[in-house]
Chain A
Amino acid sequence: MCAVYHKYLRLDHLPHIWCPGCGNGIVMGAFIRAMEDLKYDQNEVVVVSGIGCSGRISGYLDFNTLHTTHGRALAFATGIKAAEPRLKIFVFMGDGDATAIGGNHLIHACRRNIDMTAIIINNCTFGMTGGQFSPMTPKGKKASTAPYGTVERNFDIPALAQAAGATLVARVGIYQVNLLRELIVKASHHKGFALLEVISQCPVNYGRRNQMGDPAEMLEDQKGIIKSAGLGQGLENYFGQIFQSEQPEFIEEYNKMIVQAQKKGGCDV
């Protein structure tokens, strides 16, 4: 293993719990390489995660790490950032975590435009609990709770996040590991709420039920989709950076308000 991984992994807590062919390790690898680019002091970084297979990432990474409750990672992260703005915050969530139980926190973190990087690992299913359908399971796909195929539609995460006010939004395939690394760096340098959707694969609980072949075949399929996607085809087809804008960031605005409040005089106690 090359030295960079040693530096950022808690080696005594490996091997990880993920199934063979899972995308979580690939995302974690790209994240570590991005950390190498960003060169932050590890003590100044907080990695927050939700509950699910993806939520386990926080335990393997050697930073300040917080494994929260299902769906609430962004709310915990908001408290950390607001209380200690100098810390760099990265939040990992599964698609169920972020868009089902945590959907409310997701849109409000976008709206607040609080400075942090959120990464949704979208494997189109509830991996940890055995492959139930999630708000990201495409219509018609099978799941343990959709034996005849889901009848519901899925969210378009980048469109949702952009509409809710996130100021950097991107979708990237897990196949595009180098782009993912670059986007994590870019997202972290961005002042405001940055959201990356990583389209991942769950061969065991999703691929198998939908005859999508082995993990390599799932990646090959993704490669095909990415190749055919491009600008002007609508958000759902576009991979890579989608949207970035400059908007007032929460902490900066809050600090301006503090200056105002302090001009008005001291506390009564």
Chain B
Amino acid sequence: MVKPKLMQGNECCALGALAAGVRFFAGYPITPSTEIAEIFSKELPKLGGVFMQMEDEIASLAAVIGASLTGKKAITATSGPGFSLMQENLGFAAVAEVPCVIVNVMRLGPSTGMPTLPAQSDVMQARWGTHGDHSVIALAPSSVKEAFCLTVRAVNLAERYRVPVVLLMDEVIGHLRERVVFQPDEKVVQWERKQCLNPKSSQPFEETADGIPPFFSFGGEYRHHVTGLVHDESGFPTSQREGISRLIRRLHYKITQHLSDIVQVEEFFVDDADVLIIAYGSTARSAQAAVVRAREEGKKAGLLRLITLWPFPEKEVSTAAVNKKAVIVPEMNMGQLALEVARVLPDKNLLFPINRVDGELVTPDEILSVMGRIY
């Protein structure tokens, strides 16, 4: 028998990053993410890694990008206000294609808001927070164990696709303590970034078949230039129309071309359901409880839990919504992901958002009462 451990979401997130091979953390303390920094400050030195508490979140992501350019796996953790400060450098990481992970333990905003109360307030900030068009991946764990697994996955996706990956954890999951079981044969798989093997035949920002250029690291065998300016395949600034558009389009398709590898959802009684709930993060836990209770009452409810929020699981959502009488989207915000769901539903009248913005969880009762009104 494996002994279960009582663990916290933030703790699992930090340990997941270490297991994934992260050896560099730079951050600035902010509730409700601070435990992550504290754990890194304790564990990274033991592993010969680097923990840095920077002067602000702008510097934190800058340092993370700098570390990643030397080939190290690097991560930062913050919450809404700090995530806002990181946006400019997040765009830099996107255009310069620097692998990195940004954990955002979401709290209620805007501004200082309610620092200790949960929300799912940064779903859209994660997608559109930085300026310009760019690709991004965002994942949302629903349990403490999943905080571990998805942090590993976030690191892996960042390395494989050379993108910033955002782990959108709500405060409930970040601070939740629950039973976690790690099986003895459970292995953490590490994905590595594609390395440049022959600089004579490849370029640092080359348009390869899979859209992902090989990585040249600072201090490696080949020198190159990294800039936030639009650049050509050599990495140097270009102002040629064709080159500009080619880069921006590639930043998109290197993600959209690999949706089957990136997008993950989980189905719970979806097939025969009349009413579908689409939820993520801690809200999905209430949704699952609501489905169980509805089924006990003979109501055909189902849950599509989104694990990947960005790129939005368009195909999975539209397939799951086929023949449903209603789609309920509970969120701890004023309806951010609901906008995306509405976009892919055949009939917008099927959508029933539930929005909670008082720092409390959406409860199974609330979901059931909405369900009761429509079905």
Verify that A and B bind, or say they do not. Answer: yes
Instruction: Give complex CA distance A72, B61 in Å.
Output: 10
Contact of B62 with A79 in the complex, beta carbons under 8 Å: yes
Question: B343 at interface (Cβ–Cβ under 8 A)?
Answer: no
Question: A62 at interface (Cβ–Cβ under 8 A)?
Answer: yes
Number of interface residues of B (CB under 8 A): 47
- Nearest B residue to A254 via CB reads B50
Contact of B228 with A68 in the complex, beta carbons under 8 Å: yes
Contact of A79 with B221 in the complex, beta carbons under 8 Å: no
Residues of A with C-beta under 8 A to B46? 261-262, 264-267
- Nearest A residue to B55 via CB reads A108
Instruction: Give complex CA distance A51, B50 in Å.
Output: 27
Contact of A76 with B66 in the complex, beta carbons under 8 Å: yes
Contact of A258 with B45 in the complex, beta carbons under 8 Å: yes
Residues of B with C-beta under 8 A to A266? 46
Shortest B54–chain A CB gap in Å is: 7
Question: A80 at interface (Cβ–Cβ under 8 A)?
Answer: yes
Contact of A76 with B45 in the complex, beta carbons under 8 Å: no
Contact of A64 with B66 in the complex, beta carbons under 8 Å: no
Contact of B62 with A68 in the complex, beta carbons under 8 Å: yes
Residues of A with C-beta under 8 A to B229? 67
Residues of B with C-beta under 8 A to A105? 55, 58-59, 62
A 34-52 to B, binary, CB cutoff 8 A, 1 in contact else 0 = 0000000011101010010
Question: B225 at interface (Cβ–Cβ under 8 A)?
Answer: yes
Contact of B225 with A79 in the complex, beta carbons under 8 Å: no
Instruction: Give complex CA distance A18, B26 in Å.
Output: 35
| Residue from A43, A51, A67, A77 within 8 A of B226 (CB atoms) | A67
Within 8 A of A (CB), among B200-249: 218-229, 236-237
Question: A178 at interface (Cβ–Cβ under 8 A)?
Answer: no
Given contact pairs A44-B219, A64-B224, A67-B226, A82 touches B92 in the complex (Cβ within 8 A): no
Instruction: Give complex CA distance A75, B54 in Å.
Output: 8
B 24-66 to A, binary, CB cutoff 8 A, 1 in contact else 0 = 1010000000000000001101111010101110111011111
Which of the segments B67-75, B113-121, B270-278, B366-374 contacts the partner chain?
B67-75
Question: A13 at interface (Cβ–Cβ under 8 A)?
Answer: yes
Within 8 A of B (CB), among A253-269: 254, 257-258, 260-262, 264-269
Residues of B with C-beta under 8 A to A269? 15, 18-19, 43
Contact of A66 with B50 in the complex, beta carbons under 8 Å: no
Instruction: Give complex CA distance A269, B17 in Å.
Output: 10
Instruction: Give complex CA distance A68, B56 in Å.
Output: 17
Question: B89 at interface (Cβ–Cβ under 8 A)?
Answer: yes
Contact of B223 with A64 in the complex, beta carbons under 8 Å: yes
Residues of B with C-beta under 8 A to A83? 24, 50, 66-67, 70, 72, 74
Question: A78 at interface (Cβ–Cβ under 8 A)?
Answer: yes
Instruction: Give complex CA distance A257, B41 in Å.
Output: 11
Shortest A144–chain B CB gap in Å is: 23
Instruction: Give complex CA distance A75, B65 in Å.
Output: 9
Residues of A with C-beta under 8 A to B221? 43
Shortest A55–chain B CB gap in Å is: 9
Contact of B218 with A87 in the complex, beta carbons under 8 Å: yes
Contact of A67 with B228 in the complex, beta carbons under 8 Å: yes
Given contact pairs A65-B225, A83-B66, A78 touches B19 in the complex (Cβ within 8 A): no
Most chain A beta carbons < 10 A, residue from B54, B63, B74: B63
Contact of A59 with B219 in the complex, beta carbons under 8 Å: no
| Residue from B24, B67, B69, B89 within 8 A of A72 (CB atoms) | B89
Residues of B with C-beta under 8 A to A54? none
Contact of A66 with B66 in the complex, beta carbons under 8 Å: yes
Most chain B beta carbons < 10 A, residue from A68, A104, A260, A264: A68
Contact of A69 with B62 in the complex, beta carbons under 8 Å: yes
Shortest B321–chain A CB gap in Å is: 40
Most chain A beta carbons < 10 A, residue from B47, B219, B237: B219
Show 7 A/B contacts (Cβ-Cβ < 8 Å), sorted by A. A43-B219, A62-B223, A69-B62, A104-B55, A105-B55, A254-B50, A258-B45
- Nearest 7 A/B pairs, CB to CB: A79-B66, A79-B63, A75-B62, A261-B45, A83-B67, A75-B59, A67-B227
New contact pairs (14) apart from A43-B223, A84-B219, CB-CB < 8 Å: A43-B220, A58-B225, A64-B218, A67-B228, A68-B62, A72-B59, A75-B54, A82-B50, A82-B52, A87-B70, A87-B218, A105-B59, A262-B48, A268-B43
Q: Which residues of A contact B (CB under 8 A)?
A: 10, 13, 42-44, 46, 48, 51, 58-59, 62-69, 72, 75-84, 86-87, 104-105, 108, 254, 257-258, 260-262, 264-269
